[in-house]
Structure 1
Amino acid sequence: MNSITGKHDLLQLFMLHRNDLVGYANSIIGERHAAEDVVQDAYFRVIGVEKRKQDRLVLEEPVGYLYQIIRNLCLDSLRKKTRENSYIRKEDLSALTADTGQISPEQHAGARQELIVLRMALNELPEKTRQAFELHRFSGLKLADIARQLDVSLGTAHSMVASALEHCKESLKKKTE
């Protein structure tokens, strides 16, 4: 069946390929229930397109069309989830100070300890690497400006900032272990 002309043909095609379509969506999203929702949304979207077609054009390669719609819906779903997670993280941070407007003594002590660990980690770095990191993170300079200021190539400036960041992450990870 290479083309379909009506809703009945589309329903048969959809039912024939439903498990494969759900599996495809699941491979992108990683959650079976969300994949099933995406496949259902794709079916209704195709039905809506078919209803709007007044000249009853034939839909060529309908299975490929369904896969493309599912892929796009999956990507939209992942983007939405990323935005929601970002919003939730911001809410979590604001919840830390929501009750009194100030952080608890335990949170304050933990933050001070992390600052001490970061200060020590920065002091362990080579001088130019530390300077590059501080210029990038604390002064907000772009890598090209850092490269000019430290008289190094752009790639070297990038490498220095990246290695300093990785060193700080590793130091904080060791602290929590």
Structure 2
Amino acid sequence: MSTIVHQHDLLQLFMLHRKELVGYANSIVGERHTAEDVVQDAYFRVIGVESRKQNNVPLEEPVGYLYQIIRNLCLDSLRKKTRENAYMQDEDFSLSSHGLEQVSPEQHAGARQELSVLHVALNELPERTRLAFELHRFSGLKLADIASQLNVSLGTAHAMVASALDHCKASLKKQTEYEI
């Protein structure tokens, strides 16, 4: 049974097994770049756990612990991707379904009007809610990063993004009802 006491030892162990860890994560998520992200997140989680320990109890079976964390992060990533795909199918925001080369002048004008409505809707939001939404949707930040940046809880960051999305949907719906 191997044990790890210091972060330096953990880094060496991590570097020694990195290729296998990425391969394992890739076998679960099916995307190399996502697997790389998951493995990096796993390393930082283990470092965080080790640095928060009150007593210097060594980490037993560190490689197995890394694999367990990577598996959990991969499953979280797959759940998130499934939710996002379901949302995108429900909302039909896919440009590929419309074919960019076949956009009529009417469709182009309609899209510009929707963009204008969304711009107004975003400006109606409270500053921090708008910022959370923009960071999530336009900058691609994770909710945890947004929560940290705005100094709010993860649940609050999620609620802010969801609230902004609901407001944008309602504004678009109101605009379409007005046209009919």
Q: Contact (CA 8 Å) 2:88, 2:94: kept in 1 or not?
A: no
> Partner residue of 1:28?
28
Q: 1:12-91 counterparts in 2 under 5 A?
A: 12-91=12-91
Distance 2:10 2:23 in 1: 19
Q: 1:1-177 counterparts in 2 under 5 A?
A: 2-92=2-92
CA 1:16–1:83: 2 relative to 1, 3 Å: same
Q: Contact (CA 8 Å) 2:25, 2:74: kept in 1 or not?
A: yes
List alignment gaps of at least 5 residues for structure 1.
101-177
Greater gyration radius: 1
Aligned-residue identity in percent:
76
CA 1:65–1:84: 2 relative to 1, 3 Å: same
Give the deviation of 1:87 after TM superposition: 0.8
Give the deviation of 1:54 after TM superposition: 1.7
CA 1:45–1:93: 2 relative to 1, 3 Å: closer
Distance 1:48 1:16 in 2: 20
Give the deviation of 1:94 after TM superposition: 10
Give the deviation of 1:93 after TM superposition: 7.1
Secondary structure, aligned partner of 2:92? helix
Secondary structure, aligned partner of 1:48? helix
Give the deviation of 1:15 after TM superposition: 0.2
- What amino acid is the match of 2:52? R
Runs of 4+ aligned residues of structure 1 deviating over 6 Å after TM superposition are 93-96
Distance 2:29 2:78 in 1: 7
User: TM-score by structure 2 length?
Assistant: 0.51
- What amino acid is the match of 1:19? K
Secondary structure, aligned partner of 1:54? coil
CA RMSD between the two structures: 2.2
- What amino acid is the match of 1:53? K
CA 1:93–1:7: 2 relative to 1, 3 Å: closer
CA 1:2–1:92: 2 relative to 1, 3 Å: same
